[in-house]
C-alpha cells in the first residue's frame, strides 16, 4: 500500500510541475552611426571586363551547385524576393559574377557595371544566369 501511495504522490508531483518560459522585451531606439571621410580616390578606367555566374534552385529552397566565392561590400538587389531559405539567388549570382570579373582582370572595381539576369523558372526547378559587364577600374591614388 505504501508503494501505491508513493507512486500516486510522485505522479501527482510530476503532473503539477512543469516548464515555464518568460520573455521580457524592452523597447529600444535604433542605433544609427554616420561615418564621414574626406578621402578621394583616383581611378584609372581601362578595358572592358566581364564575369558570369549561375545558380540552380530546387523547390525554391535547395541551392544546387553555384559558385563558392563572392564579392563583398556591395548590396546586390535581385528583385526576386527572399526565397531559398531567405537567400536571394539573384543577388548571390550577381556577387559571384562581379567577383569573377574583378579577379580575372586584376581590377580593383568595376566601373559602370551592367548586369544581365536570365531566370528560367520551371515551377519546381529554377536556374539563374547572370553576366556582368563594365570597365576595369584601378585605384591609382587615395588622397
What pLDDT, in 10s, does the model give residues 34-79?
888 888 889 999 999 999 999 998 887 788 888 888 887 666 665 5
Instruction: Tell me the pTM.
Output: 0.66
Alpha carbon 99 to its chain's center: 14
Residue 136: pLDDT band by 50, 70, 90 thresholds? very high
Q: What is the DSSP letter of 87?
A: -
User: In the predicted model, is pLDDT for residue 87 greater than 70?
Assistant: no
Alpha carbon 137 to its chain centroid, in Å, reads 25
> Would you say the C-alpha torsion 77, 93, 73, 113 has a positive or negative sign?
negative
HEC secondary structure over 91-116: HHHHHHHHHHHHHHHCCCEEEEEEEE
Cβ neighbors of 99 (< 8 A, separation 6 or more) are 51, 67, 69, 70, 71
Amino acid at each position: 500500500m505504501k508503494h501505491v501511495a508513493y507512486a500516486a504522490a510522485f505522479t501527482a508531483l510530476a503532473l503539477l510541475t512543469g516548464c515555464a518560459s518568460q520573455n521580457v522585451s524592452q523597447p529600444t531606439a535604433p542605433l544609427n552611426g554616420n561615418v564621414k571621410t574626406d578621402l578621394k580616390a583616383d581611378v584609372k578606367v581601362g578595358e572592358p571586363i566581364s564575369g558570369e555566374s549561375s545558380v540552380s534552385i530546387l523547390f525554391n529552397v535547395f541551392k544546387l551547385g553555384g559558385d563558392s566565392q563572392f564579392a563583398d561590400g556591395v548590396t546586390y538587389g535581385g528583385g526576386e524576393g527572399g526565397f531559398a531559405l531567405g537567400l536571394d539567388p539573384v543577388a548571390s549570382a550577381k556577387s559571384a559574377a562581379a567577383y569573377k570579373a574583378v579577379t580575372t582582370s586584376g581590377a580593383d572595381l568595376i566601373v559602370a557595371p551592367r548586369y544581365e539576369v536570365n531566370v528560367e523558372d520551371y515551377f519546381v526547378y529554377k536556374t539563374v544566369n547572370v553576366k556582368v559587364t563594365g570597365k576595369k577600374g584601378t585605384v591609382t591614388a587615395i588622397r
